[in-house]
Structure 1
């Protein structure tokens, strides 16, 4: 551990030394640059501070991937963005294609069950998406994706303690546009997209829409199912998505934008790969990591819908008002076979039903020396769910017809917030940033939890011929709680030259308090998690060709929420229960480096590096006598490799038949753990090699692209389930929950190739 900290320190000093040593050269380069009209580096605009700014002027660790870069790299889904952002994990993990696992700098949320709050905020056009179901967004009519690393508590509020992902859709250009695109690839991939932008009243009223049909056969198959007529494709894709936009500019001072989007994901439930043979069935471990067994229906359904209205009024040259009104809903029916056998050992059919409404008002000020973003925010969210843990094999062992534990309930939230953040230029070079947010939140929760000795599904017809009947389970929890939180931010920025800025900041964020959605009896809510973060960074450009941005950070993550053994409320300490509690504290320190180099007029090179040292410092629980014990050694930070790196190139070729862009990148992730407690599964370090060739017609109307992803066909884990008992002396395991040795892995995409052709008029 100490050697690793030294490595971070040495690397940080080396970068700082290199930057300082060349300051004189940078000033000379600036003089030359001022005499030139064009720069070899593209100016990147971001809205990380809720106002449009150049990436190089924002004292925040942020990565922006624009539409052109997304297209040229063949990025079709949001999770691929993780390759371009250091210390970032975005995975479609475990049982569905569309449930997101997001970690930034070692902070996130593993469990997607209703009631648990995310640690990384997801935003679509400034609208917060509260739940991870349906949050794996396909790239459709996107202007750019921004990854903000570190707590964003002052401007973005709760549940951004790791950072935020911003999905920004394209705005109208003023001209009529019509785009058609088709992609074909292995595994029978067929993607069709159409997008249009139409002026209805010139310079006043515009209408736009985008539609996409995205299908693919499975990477593997379900080898056995006891349900006839099932679609046996595993890791397939079947998505239809649509978006409609109306923009209205009645005067130079007013702007209105209405967005509507709907996504229907009918991809199959994902079956996992058994890493250990079953001790209940005789089925062998599959030959392919994408093959699985199941006793569940293979169908799955996720429907997400949202709408928003944005209104902006420019009062004068300094002041502006903005309102964002939005609502979203998500309804998911899913089948998760935890044991992945053809027997009902541990099956979990589930329903997620979420709705949210938000209203934000902003009052912004911008002058030569002072810029302020301020606002009021209201959020009302209803998050409900229903799952049946079917343990039929265990019930048979006990002499019953079956065994099912059913949990249903809601974890609803209502919050109000007021915030302001401003930057003041003390001199031409020195500025200060101060921000704060005050949040008042109330949650109420209801949990029904019980056991019945039969096999129960959430609805009649869930499996052929099944009728649910009149099955009711007791209410075990009905409670409410409220919290308030003040989240500050303070920073200092020094503009050493036109092309070099140093910055340092302190920020704090919090993840909402909550109730245990699996509660088996009355238990109090847990308090919010708190993250204090410190950053020092530099943003610099050299000779108009080289951009170097670097950040060193340290964060302290307190009051982490985990299920552990805690005393029962009102008991004498001898009664113990598995409960949700604020039991953990962790820290992380690291470095993030992003380099872009325009080597020639045709060749661009880039590299990113993320280093992080993260670990639990303190985790407390209780022994069987109710005495406090330290269980820190049994906890690990998941989904957080010590090293993430990406190197790549882009080369432009002009020819008589059009322009070509050849690009490629190699993305590396070092070893990372997948289980928080008593980790049983780690993914070794691996690398993904990707290459693409893009063609643009001389007239600018036709495009074509050929993309090869994961060329070396690496197999790498992105999620897992582990239900094992104690380990035997010979290395085998005792059976866990359900009566089997269940250790299941879910994997990222194999080697793929795709061809895309597009036409614009």
Structure 2
């Protein structure tokens, strides 16, 4: 069982006890059947006692309390007021969720929910937790660490959601929902200044051209000095240099017709994160850990560039009072040029320059039905995408380089449906089914060169050597996955539900696969599936002053795709993908919020995940017979406990309202990889934050200050483990932000 720091364990127990004591009398509380629907939200300072939170988790507008899915919803305004830098802040407020910036990256997203995810951001690998931007699936994790601007809310759905969403929701979905323009002139200007010379400038405007046509745009500029320094080159390390923009037009000639065209572009020129050395390599000062975990001695360089662009067209036509046709057409592409210095020294002991390119086209058609007793959606989905890239693995002590390059072309076809039927006023049943077919073509090339870097990365004099991998193969995968649920609502603001769902993620090809060391790599790896059962309750009690969302889950996880990377000199680093066999995952999520008055609210969020491998088959030492190593493996990036507690006090002041919100979030121990690595694995830790915001009456002006990681904790969010003399004993870690304080002025007009 994961260990917690003593203080963390104490607070976790206190939070659980508080939730239990608060909930016990609430279940006995009786209310009139015609009471207003209760507010259900994760925002401690956002919703009033009688506000209804509307979500689109099931592709139609519903009160959160009616949705038989374990989910959290957090408004963009609440994230901004708390000083959140980007969507990774969601993991502090959402149970059983890990959202991190990938090791060696500034804007690549790593996502896990209930133990299901994908850490490897290499082209060809696909996430287990899907990211959606206004219902458009974002296939690649590069550039997916979205900043908080022009966002209305973020919905986090836990568990497989394949009957509702386009692709790869085996572990859940994170839905980033931007604001609709509307037909009134409005705008927002926000400026922030904070620690490490942080400067954030955000502007948004909506201009109605006619009663039915509006255009709008938002632009954001984020800059920040580094948390540390590259001691070799003298430049800042862990800095930020991002510009992002979104333009859209909306046309709504009638109440039954709506069209939106939207385009976005993000350019991240922040310097690469090289990490920091955790272990020495002899007594040479160039190979010793730095005094600050944010410093590095990397000598590979400081150039990094990530660009992402997208265009989408969404159309909704009300065919009748009960039928709506919806079409979502989207194109996205991205490119990344980056550098990773694994040895963290001026020497090219273990260096990796890399580039990635991807594109995708998606088309989704939906027919939504909203009858008196029957509601639901049926749809068709198509994706055509290409992910490609190349990188050098430079082993300087041997004067050798291994070039790895390749592409994966994917065509995905799906038909899905999810229908709900009201058996009575209190009983509802839902059923969904999805058919998925993926067709993939993989091309992998891997070759040794004599010299530092290959011709692809600038060394035309490199001498070609052993050809390790050179193949093109194609495979197809198909699966039928169901989802069913039943709900019982004894009153309007109380809902009990039980559900079963199956998730599916197709197989593929290992872009690092070495056909000499692992000849079977040319065959690719198999799909993974999960069967998930869930029991839940959502309710409002004590005259709408206490809200409780509770869910318990159990999952059978089969053939999990696990990437293993190990040193394999002189070829540098080799990789293989295991289909890990069988695992059981169970746990719960508890979200409670109290609103005893308009001047005070408090929330407690608690998550527990127990993930255990029952079978983990792999090949050891070049053997030809798979060996079960389940007893020596554990789930990565999956803390057993997650928790958050916050409170908001507010008072009327100077023609407005001032609100103070302190919060603490806790995460228990994690392993960075399936194999325990004591030098890398992160012990449990707590993060403390607080915000103070004054908002004028009507919300036109806001002045705020937010502090994050106020105790200045040091915690690892990623790492690499390549020990050994020829790799420079490369055990390096990447860290979350230190203590920061940010002041903000915002004007809405």
TM-score (norm 2): 0.91
Query: In structure 2, how many angstroms separate the alpha carbons of the residues matched to 1:382 and 1:35?
Result: 45
Which residue of structure 2 lines up, in the alignment, with residue 132 of structure 1?
Answer: 141
Paired residue secondary structure (1:294):
coil
Question: Hey, what does 2:279 align to over in structure 1?
Answer: 276
Match of 2:570 in 1: none
Distance 1:472 1:198 in 2: 61
State the match for 2:545 in structure 1: 545
Which stretches in structure 2 are left out of the alignment for 5+ residues?
Answer: 5-11, 40-46, 516-520, 566-573
Q: Does the Cα contact within 8 Å between 1:158 and 1:510 map onto a contact in 2?
A: no
Q: What do the CA deviations read for 1:307-365 (whole angstroms, capped 9, x no partner)?
A: 10000000111000000000100100000111111111110000010000000000111
Of stretches 248-257 and 417-426 in structure 1, the one that deviates more from structure 2 is 248-257
Structure-1 residue corresponding to 2:123: 114
What's 1:512 paired with? 506
Q: Which residue of 2 aligns with 1:228?
A: none
Structure 2 partner of 1:533? 532
Q: Sort the Cα spacing of 1:35 and 1:20 in 2 relative to 1 into closer, same or farther, 3 A.
A: closer
Residues 365-410 of structure 1, C-alpha deviations (whole Å, 9 max, x = no match): 11121102110000011000100001112x1xxxxxx200000000
Alpha-carbon distance between aligned partners in 2 of 1:638 and 1:710, rounded to the nearest angstrom: 24
Contact conserved, 1:73 with 1:664, CA < 8 A, in 2?
no
Quote how far apart the aligned CAs of 1:684 are: 1.1
Contact 1:636 1:679 in 2 (8 A): no
2:65 is paired with a residue of what secondary structure?
Answer: helix
User: Which residue in the other structure is 1:479 paired with?
Assistant: 473
| 1:243 maps to 2:246 | yes
Aligned to 2:354: 350
Once superposed, what is the RMSD of the aligned Cα atoms? Answer: 2.7
Q: Distance in 2 between matches of 1:739 and 1:682?
A: 20
Contact 1:508 1:533 in 2 (8 A): yes
1:320 aligns with one of 324, 330, 333:
324
- Counterpart Cα distance in 2 of 1:419 and 1:261: 28
The alpha carbon displacement at 1:578 in A equals 6.3
In structure 1, the residue matched to 2:263 is 260
Residues 739-761 of structure 1, C-alpha deviation per residue, up to 9 Å, x if partnerless? 32111110001000001111222
2:60 to 51, 67, 80: 51
User: Structure 1 stretches of 5 or more lacking a match?
Assistant: 226-230, 396-401, 566-576, 725-734
- The answer as to 2:369 corresponding to 1:365 is yes
Superposition pairs for residues 614-629 of structure 1, below 5 Å?
A: 614-623=611-620, 626-629=624-627
1:339 corresponding residue in structure 2 = 343
Shift of 1:134: 0.5
Write the distance in 2 (CA, Å) between the matches of 1:239 and 1:582: 37
The counterpart of 2:738, out of the listed 736, 739, 750, is 750
| 2:43 corresponds to | none
Q: Which stretch has the larger CA shift, 627-636 or 426-435?
A: 627-636
Q: Is the 8 A contact 1:648 1:663 kept in 2?
A: yes
- Structure 2 counterpart SS, 1:416: strand
From the superposition, tell whether residues 470 and 171 of structure 1 become closer, same or farther in structure 2 (CA, over 3 Å).
Answer: farther
1:377 maps to 381
**Does the CA contact (< 8 Å) of 2:26 and 2:546 recur in 1?**
no
- Structure 1 residues 19 and 663: CA distance shift in structure 2, 3 A: closer
Q: Deviations over 1:271-290 (max 9, x none)?
A: 21111012384323111000
1:303 aligns with 2:307: yes
Quote the residue 2:518 is aligned against. none
Q: Is the 8 A contact 2:276 2:295 kept in 1?
A: yes
Looking at structure 1, the residues matched to 346 and 631 of structure 2 have their Cα atoms a distance apart, in angstroms, of 36
**Are residues 337 and 605 of structure 1, via their aligned partners in 2, closer, same or farther at CA, if it must alter by over 3 Å?**
same
Q: Any conservation in 2 of the 1:476–1:520 contact (CA below 8 Å)?
A: no
Q: Is the 8 A contact 2:137 2:166 kept in 1?
A: no
Secondary structure of the structure 2 residue equivalent to 1:79: helix
Asked if structure 1 preserves the Cα contact closer than 8 Å seen for 2:450 and 2:463, the reply is no
The CA distance in 1 between the partners of 2:699 and 2:484, in whole Å, is 47
Determine if contact 1:701/1:760 at 8 Å carries over to the other structure: yes
Per-residue deviation at 1:193? Answer: 0.8
Confirm whether residue 494 of structure 1 aligns to residue 488 of structure 2: yes
Query: Contact between 1:362 and 1:375, CA under 8 Å: does it hold in 2?
Result: yes
What residue is the counterpart of 1:398 in the other structure?
none
Shift of 1:584: 2.8
SS in 1 for 2:559: strand
Matches within 5 A, 1:434-453: 434-453=431-450
Q: Where does 1:638-717 land on structure 2 (aligned, <5 Å)?
A: 638-680=636-678, 681-698=680-697, 700-717=699-716
Given that 1:370 and 1:425 are in contact with CA atoms closer than 8 Å, whether structure 2 keeps it comes out as yes
Aligned to 1:683, the other structure's residue is in SS state: coil
